[in-house]
Structure 1
Amino acid sequence: MLTARLYYANSYVKEFSARVVSAAPLPTGNYAIILDRTVFYPESGGQPADTGFLDTIPVLDVQEQSGDIVHITPSCPQQQTVSGRINWQRRFDHMQQHSGEHVLTGACRQIVKASNTGFHLGQVSSQIDLDIDVITDGQLAEIELVANTMVFNNVPFRIHMVTAEELSNFPLRKQPAKHYDSLRLIEVPDFDCCPCGGTHVNATGEIGLIKIRSWERKKNGIRLDFVCGHRALTDYQGKNEAVKDLAARLSVPPAELAAAYEKQADRLAAVSKELATARQELCCRLAQDLYAQAPETAGIKIITHTLANVLPAAVGELARQLATYEYTVALIAGVSPDNTKTHLVFAANPALTPAFNMNTALKAALPFLDGKGGGSPQLAQGGGAKPSGIPAGLTAAQKVLTGK
C-alpha cells in the first residue's frame, strides 16, 4: 500500500491523523516511519521537505521511497495511530516560492521565449535555470512586471489529476520525462501548465510579490535568483535599511545615493593619489638619510633597517629605492600593523651581484623569524610570524654577506 498524499488535493491541511504502517530503526539512530497517509511533503522536485511533529516526536526529514513517504524521527511512536502536525510557516513559505516559480517561468516563456530547465528552492532564495544564452536588464524588468501583474490579478491555481491519454488536452510547457498512468498537473490558466507534485497556494495573489535578485551564466544557460512573498518582504526591508543607513552617512536623500557614491569615489581616488605621492617622497627621503648615515666598508654600504606598522609593499619600496645607490645593499624588515607578522626584502645594486647574493642572505635570516621566502641574487623577499627575531635575522644576513 502506497502512502496517500493528502497535500495533493489540499496544500493547506496542517494537521491529520494516520495509522503507522511501519517503523524501522536507521543506522543514524533515527527511525523511518511510514504512515498510511500524510500531509508531510517529501523532498523532491527542487522543493525541501516539510518538518513538524508526529504526536510530540519531531519530524526531522521526509523522503520518498518506492511510492511511500518516509518520515525521519529521533524516536519511535508508541501508538498505532498518530496525530501529525506540519510546520505551517515553513510549508507556506515553500508554497509561495514554488508557486512563484510557476509564474516566473510563465513570464520568462512569454518575454524571452525561454524554457525552465531546473528549479531549486533554497533557504534564503530560489533559482530557476533558463535555456537561453543572454538576458538584458530591460528583459528582466519586463519579466518581473508580467509576473507580478499575474500576482496582482489573483489568478487561481488549478490542480488536475489526468491520465496519459488526457495530457494532450492541456498546454504543457514540457512533456513528462517518462510514461505515467496518471499525472498531477498544476495550471495557471493561459499562462503556465506543467506536471508537478509540489505544494502551491490557491491563487497567485497569495504569492505576495516576486522579485528577481540577480542572474548569472550557468553552464549553457542563465540562472535567475529570486524571492517571493515573505522572503521578498524581508529582502526589501534589509535593503531599505541599508539604503537609509548609507543615505544618512552621506547626508543625501536615497535617490541621490549613486551620485554621492561617485563623488566620494572621485575624492578617494584623488586622496589615494596624493597619499601615494607622499609615501614615495617619504621613502626617497628616508632612503637618502639611511644612505648618508650608513658606514662604508671597502666602498660598499650594507644598510639594515626595520620599519614598524607597515605593509609588505612599503618594505619592498624602501629596499628597491636604496638599491638604486651604487655599491649598496639594503636589508630591510617590516613589522605588520598588528605586530604579528614580519616581512623581509633584501636588494642589491646590480654592480654588486652575484658576489653579494640576496637569496643566500635571506635564507640565513629566515630561521630567526620562523619564516619562508626566496628570490634571486639581486632581490629576495620572505616573511615570518616572529617579529622578535628580526635583529638576529638581519645580523645573520649581514654576516653571510661580509663574512664577519
Structure 2
Amino acid sequence: MPTDKLYYSDSYVTNFTARIVSSVALPSGQSAVILDRTAFYPESGGQPADTGLIDGFRVLDVQEKNGEILHILDTCPKEEKVTGTVDWARRFDHMQQHSGEHVLTGAFGKVLNASNIGFHLGQTSSQIDLDIEVLTAEQAAEVERAANTIVFKNTPIHIHFIDSSGLNKFPLRKQPTKHYDNLRLIEVPDFDCCPCGGTHVASTGEIGLIKIRSWERKKSGIRIDFVCGLRALADYQEKNETVKDLSGKLSVPPAELSSAYDKQAARLDTLNKELTAAQKELTQHLAHKLYSQSQVSGDWHIITYTQTNISPAALNDLARELITHPAAVALLAGSNADNTKAHLVFGANPTLTDVNMNAALKVALPHINGKGGGSPQAAQGGGSNIAGIRQALAVARDFLLESK
C-alpha cells in the first residue's frame, strides 16, 4: 500500500496519527520510518522537506525513494502507532514561497511572455529561472505589480486531481514532461495553472507581499531572486533599518540618500587622490634620504632598510623609487600591522648587470621561514618569522658583497 499523502489534499494538516509500516537503516547510520499515512512533505520539485516530530522524536529530513516516503529521525519510535506533528512555521513559510512562485511565474508569463525553466526554494530567498535574456528594472516593477495585484485580490487557489485525459480542460502554462495516470494541478483562476506536488496556501492573500530582490544572467536565461510573505516583511524591516541608520549618519532624509552618497564618494575620491600624491612624495623623500645614507661598495650603493606596519605594495613602491638612483641596490624588509608576516623586497638599478637579487633572496628566505622568487634585477617573498628579518637582510647583503 502506498503512503497516504495527507499534504496533497490539505496543506494545513500538521497533526496526524499513523502506523509505522517499516523501518529502514540508512547508509549514513541514521534510521528512517515509512508510515501508512503522513502529513510530512518530502523534498521535491525545488521545495525542501518538512521537519517536526514523530512521537516526540525529531524528524530531520523527509525523502521519497522509489515511491516510499522515508522519515529520517534522530531516534526511531518504539510503538507501531505514532503521532506526527509538522513544524507549522516552516510549512507555512514554504507554502507562502511556493504559492508566491506560481503567482510570480504567472505574472512573468502575462507581462513578458516568459516561461519558468527552474525553481529553488532556499532558506532565506527563492529563485526562478526564466527563458529570457534581458530584464529591465521597469519590467521587473511591472511584473511585481501584476503579481501583487493577484495577492490583493485574495483569489482562491484550487487543487485538481485529474488523469491525462482531463489536461485539455485546463489552461496549463506548461505541459507535463511525461505521462501520468494521476496528476495534481495547482490553479490560480484566470492567471496560472500547472502540475505541482508542493504545499500551497488556500488563497493568494495568504502569500503576502511578493518582492523581487534581484536578478542576474544565468547561462541562457535570467535568474530571479525573490521573497514572499513573512520573508518579505523581514527583508523590508532589515532594509528599512539600514536606510534609517544611513539617513542618521549622513544627516539627510531617506529620499536624499543617493545624492548624499554620491557627494561622499566624490569627496572620498578627491581625498584618495590627495593621499596617493602625498604618499608618493613621502616615498620619494624617504628614498632620497636612504640613498644619501647608503653603504658604498665600489660602484654600488647598498641600502638596507626595515619598516614595521607596511604593506608589500608600499614596500615595492619604495624599492621602485630607490632603484631609480644610480647604482642603487635595495634590500628592504617589512612586517604587516599585526606582526604576523614578514616581507622582503630586493631590487637593483637596471644598469647593474653584476648583481643577482633572486639569488640573494634565496639565501635570505630561510631566516623568515619564507617563500618567493624573482629575477636578477628584482625579487620578493614573504614568511612567518618576524624575528629573522634583520638576519635575512644581513645574509643577503653579505652574499651580494661576496659575489661582487
TM-score of the pair, normalised by structure 1: 0.97
Letter in 2 for 1:117: I
Return 5+ residue gaps in structure 1 as ranges. none
1:26 is the counterpart of 2:32: no
**SS of residue matched to 2:296:** coil
Letter in 2 for 1:34: I
Counterpart position of 1:88: 88
- Give the Å deviation of 1:79: 2.1
Letter in 1 for 2:325: Y
Counterpart position of 1:337: 337
* 1:257-313 per-position Cα deviation (integer Å, ceiling 9, x unaligned): 111111111111111111111111111111111111223222321111112211111
Letter in 2 for 1:364: V
**SS of residue matched to 2:252:** coil
Letter in 2 for 1:294: S
Paired with 2:85 and 2:280, the residues of 1 have a C-alpha distance of 70
Counterpart position of 2:397: 398
Paired with 2:265 and 2:21, the residues of 1 have a C-alpha distance of 67
1:10 is the counterpart of 2:4: no
Kept in 2, the 8 Å contact 1:115–1:130? The answer is: yes
Paired with 2:190 and 2:386, the residues of 1 have a C-alpha distance of 72
Letter in 2 for 1:21: V
% identical aligned pairs: 63
1:210 is the counterpart of 2:210: yes
**SS of residue matched to 1:60:** strand
Paired with 1:31 and 1:297, the residues of 2 have a C-alpha distance of 78
**SS of residue matched to 1:296:** strand
Counterpart position of 2:314: 314
1:371 is the counterpart of 2:370: yes
**SS of residue matched to 1:403:** helix
Q: How many pairs are equivalent?
A: 403
- Give the Å deviation of 1:42: 0.8
CA-based RMSD = 1.2
Kept in 2, the 8 Å contact 1:29–1:74? The answer is: no
Paired with 1:162 and 1:240, the residues of 2 have a C-alpha distance of 46
Paired with 2:316 and 2:75, the residues of 1 have a C-alpha distance of 64
Paired with 1:281 and 1:28, the residues of 2 have a C-alpha distance of 64
**SS of residue matched to 2:396:** helix
- Give the Å deviation of 1:56: 1.3
Letter in 2 for 1:269: D
Paired with 1:77 and 1:388, the residues of 2 have a C-alpha distance of 62
Paired with 1:358 and 1:300, the residues of 2 have a C-alpha distance of 13
Paired with 2:338 and 2:71, the residues of 1 have a C-alpha distance of 53
* 1:335-389 per-position Cα deviation (integer Å, ceiling 9, x unaligned): 1111111211111112212x01111111111111111111111111111111211
Paired with 2:19 and 2:284, the residues of 1 have a C-alpha distance of 85
TM-score of the pair, normalised by structure 2: 0.97
* 1:64-120 per-position Cα deviation (integer Å, ceiling 9, x unaligned): 123332211222222221111100000000000000000000000011111111111
Counterpart position of 1:257: 257
Letter in 1 for 2:366: P
1:140-179 equivalent positions in 2, closer than 5 A: 140-179=140-179
- Give the Å deviation of 1:31: 2.2
